Amino acid sequence: MLFIIIFVLILFLPLQQMGVFLGLFLVFIGLFTFVSTYKELPILTNFPAYKIYQKVGRKDFPKFYFYLFSFAAVVIGLFLTLGGVFNFIGN
């Protein structure tokens, strides 16, 4: 389903708007991943990162990799978002 949404966005949105949308999406994914593995809130028990963490995170897969993924997703998302915004302002 996610791939269909991204494919439709690629077809119909201009590049800067798509960059802003995908950037914000990555920021939210990164933040939800961080919160769901750090705080273990009951609200986020249906989030995929929490389920993966429950299965493999406690034994074989350290929390560090989830934190690294969430940090990378937030940083890449911020670059995409700010790049699209500054491109829009510059044009």
Q: In angstroms, rounded to a whole number, what is the distance separating the alpha carbons of residues 84 and 26?
A: 14
pLDDT of residue 33: 74
pLDDT of 74 reads 84
pLDDT tens digits, one per residue of 77-86: 888 788 777 7
| Rounded to 5°, angle at Cα 33 from 62 and 7 | 125
**What is the per-residue pLDDT for 43?**
61
Cα–Cα dist 13/63, whole Å: 36
Report the distance separating Cα 47 and Cα 50, nearest Å.
Answer: 6
| Sequence-ordered list of residues with C-beta below 8 angstroms from that of 19, at least 6 positions apart, any chain | 80, 81, 83, 84, 87
pLDDT at 62: 67
**pTM, whole model, 2 decimals?**
0.57
Q: Supply the mean pLDDT for the chain.
A: 71
pLDDT digits 0-9 by tens, 31-88: 777 777 666 666 666 666 667 666 665 555 666 777 777 788 888 888 878 877 777 6
What is the pLDDT at residue 12? 65
